[in-house]
Amino acid sequence: MLRYQLTHPTILSALASAGHGSRVLISDGHYPHTTGANPAAERVYLNLTPDRLLVTEVLDALVTAVPIESATVMTPPPGTPEPEIFPAFRAALPHIPHLDTLDRPSFYAAARLPDTALVIATADRRTYANLLLTLGVRPD
């Protein structure tokens, strides 16, 4: 029996196939899931109804299952306040000293790279609730 909270078989399979440096995109309900990520990435659609599931709920499950080396967020245009979701990301990832930031076009470009192995689509309605995680190495 698994000792962590994540039990989704497709997500577990994709994570098992990924390795150090692979990326996982957890995207909000506004994200272009089909065109905004690596076409070869495994896609899991958890966007059943508005706000089910939330990006933060998916993140909470992932942190119990895999080591996360870094996290990148999509930033709003200059002069716009920091999105309300960013403190929740920091709280869920206390071992990461800072969130890396990319503007929208650069974030899409990063998510389209071949190292994005998994895209998890949520129905989170919060703006800028997109998170690109880089997998780390499991400690001994």
Distance from C-alpha of 115 to C-alpha of 24, rounded to nearest angstrom: 9
Percent of the chain with pLDDT over 90: 93
Report the distance separating Cα 48 and Cα 110, nearest Å.
26
Confidence of residue 1 (pLDDT cuts 50, 70, 90): low
Residues 6+ apart with CB under 8 A from 126: 28, 54, 55, 83, 84, 85
CATH number of 21-135: 3.40.190.10, 1.10.10.10, 1.25.60.10, 3.40.1650.10? 3.40.1650.10
State in Å, rounded, how far the first CA of the chain is from the last one: 20
pLDDT at 139 over 80: no
Lowest mean pLDDT, pick from 3-12, 32-41, 67-76: 3-12
Segment 110-127 mean pLDDT: 98
Q: Which residues of 92-117 are buried (b: 16+ CB within 10 A; e: fewer)?
A: bbeebeeeeebeeeebbebbeeeebb
Q: Where are the domains of the chain?
A: 21-135
Above 80 in pLDDT, residue 44?
A: yes
Entry pTM? 0.95
In the predicted model, is pLDDT for residue 2 greater than 90?
A: no
Residue 30 half-sphere exposure toward CB, CA atoms < 13 A: 10
pLDDT of residue 140: 67
**Residues 76-117: tens digit of each pLDDT:** 999 999 999 999 999 999 999 999 999 999 999 999 999 999
